[in-house]
Amino acid sequence: MAKKVSKSTKAAKAKTVKKVAAKAKPAARVAKVAPKPVAKPAPSKKGYTKPDLEHFREIILDKRKQIIEELELIHETLSDSTGGDYFEESSPYSLHMEQGTDTMEKEKNYLLAARQRKFLQYLDDAIKRIDRGVYGFCQDCGKLIDKARLEAVPHAQLCISCKLKRGQ
């Protein structure tokens, strides 16, 4: 009888192992079939040629130079002191209006300078992407951005279709 018990015990253990293995197999299959996490696609496709990249670099550097010149002009405008001109006016109301206008103009210049600095940062980032070899690839879909778009907006990070999807 001892032999029957051990056989039945072995059989019960074998069934348990088979059940566990049967349950494990579908899970293993699901793990293999499950989609990989979505990440920004690495540019596996061939990008722009070196002459094209140098062309884009020149466009970016030209725009960068223009922005720096504009920032210098804004800085000069903000540095000018025109406080003494107000005292020649006869009416205190006129004085107040001119000071308000000057204050508004200075604030507009500060905002313009901040906007230009932000644009300068976008251009610097584009130069870094050229150096890293990822310039011209859409950061959402990984496709090559159209050359005409990059010539018009050299700091573009998205292709037209991805830009439209984002609605920016």
In a domain, 43, yes or no: no
User: For position 33, what pLDDT does the model report?
Assistant: 45
The model's pTM = 0.60
In a domain, 139, yes or no: yes
Q: Which of 148, 124, 158, 157 is nearest to 55 (CA)?
A: 148
State pLDDT tens for residues 74-92: 888 888 755 445 455 555 5
End-to-end CA distance of the chain: 81
State pLDDT tens for residues 11-64: 555 555 455 445 544 444 444 444 444 444 444 468 899 999 999 999 999 999
> How many folded domains does the chain comprise?
1
DSSP SS3 for 144: strand
DSSP SS3 for 35: coil
- 102: containing domain: 50-166
In a domain, 1, yes or no: no
DSSP 158: S
User: For position 36, what pLDDT does the model report?
Assistant: 44
More reliable by pLDDT, 113 or 45: 113
Q: Are 125 and 132 in contact (CB under 8 A)?
A: no
In a domain, 31, yes or no: no
In a domain, 30, yes or no: no
Q: Are 95 and 89 in contact (CB under 8 A)?
A: yes
CATH code, domain carrying 64: 1.20.120.910
In a domain, 22, yes or no: no
DSSP 133: T
In a domain, 127, yes or no: yes
Q: Whose structure tokens read 């596996």?
A: 44
Give CA torsion, residues 32, 35, 39, 41, to 10 deg: 90
* Six token digits for residue 5: 């018990």
In a domain, 12, yes or no: no
Q: Are 82 and 102 in contact (CB under 8 A)?
A: yes
* Residue 33: exposure state from Cβ atoms within 10 A (0-12, 13-18, ≥19): exposed
How far apart, in whole angstroms, are the C-alpha atoms of residue 122 and residue 125? 5
Give CA torsion, residues 159, 165, 167, 168, to 10 deg: -30
Is the per-residue pLDDT at 131 higher than 60? yes
